[in-house]
Amino acid sequence: MLDRQPADVQDLLLRTSLLDRVNGELADLLTGRPGSQRILLELEDANAFVVSLDPGRTWFRYHHLFADLLRLELRRTLPEEVPELHRRAADWLIRHGQVVVCAPCRCGAMAGNADSSVAPRCPLIRIMYGAGAGSMKPRSRAGR
């Protein structure tokens, strides 16, 4: 299915596969070009393993097995870009009030040794790791 898609569609699918859900604006950010909403709508209309999550058809997810395949392909073909994609997605999600959704992106970025500039601003990560998110070691539960 992926090989049959045009290069811009393949790129969109790969770069957004690290997310559990995506919208056109976020996909535009990760691909660096406009038009992602139209592509996502066309993929859903073609029953191409893309499903809208809301009545307005603004948020989408990929079929779980397809998403797993895309993530493997992303790591195979663009491994050096994965941490930056996570960081950019986390920044966008935080700016749009999607803090809980941002945590996996932020953790993915940190696992790739990306800078941790978002961590101090992410309330969920601040709660998990304490206000001094620099060490990124979970707070001890002793004494609670």
Rounded to 5°, angle at Cα 124 from 129 and 131: 40
- Token match 């070691």: residue? 137
Chain segment 75-120, per-residue pLDDT in tens = 999 999 998 998 898 888 888 887 655 445 444 444 444 445 545 5
- Token match 């707070």: residue? 139
For domain 1-77, the question of CATH label 2.60.40 is answered with no
Q: Are the CB atoms for 90 and 105 separated by under 8 Å?
A: yes
Tokens found for residue 76: 């195979």
68 SS3 class? helix
Give the Cα separation of 70 and 18 in Å (integer): 8
Chain segment 43-61, per-residue pLDDT in tens = 999 999 999 999 999 999 9
